[in-house]
Amino acid sequence: MPLPQTIVQIWHADETGAYDTAGYRLRGYQFTDRGGRWSFSTIVPGAYAGRTRHYHVKVQKPSGRILTTQLYFPDEPLNGRDVCLTEG
């Protein structure tokens, strides 16, 4: 089901796997269009200890609950060892 006018937040590490913890580099948000579509252009983040390459995402429709998830790269060699993908 499309979610029009929904906020999508994204953040990720830089190409070396480091996060900007002092500022807002490699972080952003936008709203979906009337059809619920959105897209972004950014760099491919680097892997870091225990984690494969990934993007963090939060999605919230107007007056709705926040969904927090992550987007992964298919066939990434480190996916099989990522602590968040292999838990449970």
Dump pLDDT digits (tens) for 35-80: 999 999 999 999 999 999 999 999 999 999 999 999 999 999 999 9
Q: At residue 25, does pLDDT exceed 90? A: yes
The separation between CA 70 and the C-alpha centre of its own chain, rounded to angstroms, equals: 5
CA distance 13 to 11: 7
Cβ atoms of 52 and 72 closer than 8 Å? yes
pLDDT digits 0-9 by tens, 34-47: 999 999 999 999 99
Q: At residue 87, does pLDDT exceed 80? A: no
| The listed CATH number (2.60.130.10, 3.90.1300.10, 1.20.1050.10, 3.40.50.1220) that belongs to domain 7-86 | 2.60.130.10
- Strand order in 27-31's β-sheet? 27-31, 7-11, 54-60, 66-72
